[in-house]
Amino acid sequence: MTLIEILVSVIILSLVFVGLAGVFVASKRYIQHSRSRMTAAELGKFFLDPFQNHVNQSTWGTSGNYLSNPPAGYTQRQNILGREYEAEYVITPGGLANLTRVKVTITLPSI
């Protein structure tokens, strides 16, 4: 084996390893993005689940129903696994087909 053959093989192997490293980095980013989406979905479910108690046929649309008369700028703070999350609710009663819309924005306040 000559020195040139060894250098060519080292260059080819280094290119292969750089390509594999790029695949691993892209995979790690994709996994982190998927975890963030799953966390967001679970947090949304956690903060929206309490509203299920207010949705029933007998009280829907009455003036005493919480969803038909929401407080302005309703926010809630919750500590989940040592992190303090803040949820802001925007509740829009009525609308198309008389459906009440609940939009929740969840933030992780800075310390």
| Amino acid 94: pLDDT | 67
Which helix (H) or strand (E) segment holds residue 72: the answer is none
- pLDDT, tens only, 62-83: 444 555 555 556 777 888 778 8
Alpha-helical segments (H) within the chain: 3-48
Q: How far apart, in whole angstroms, are the C-alpha atoms of residue 69 and residue 3?
A: 82
- Residues 65 and 54: beta-carbon distance below 8 Å: yes
Domain boundaries defined on the chain: 3-107
Taking the C-alpha atoms of residue 9 and residue 1, their distance in angstroms, rounded to an integer, is 11
At 59 the pLDDT is 53
Token pair listed for 107: 């933030």
Q: What are the tens digits of pLDDT across the range 3-19?
A: 999 999 999 999 999 99
Percent of the chain with pLDDT over 90: 30
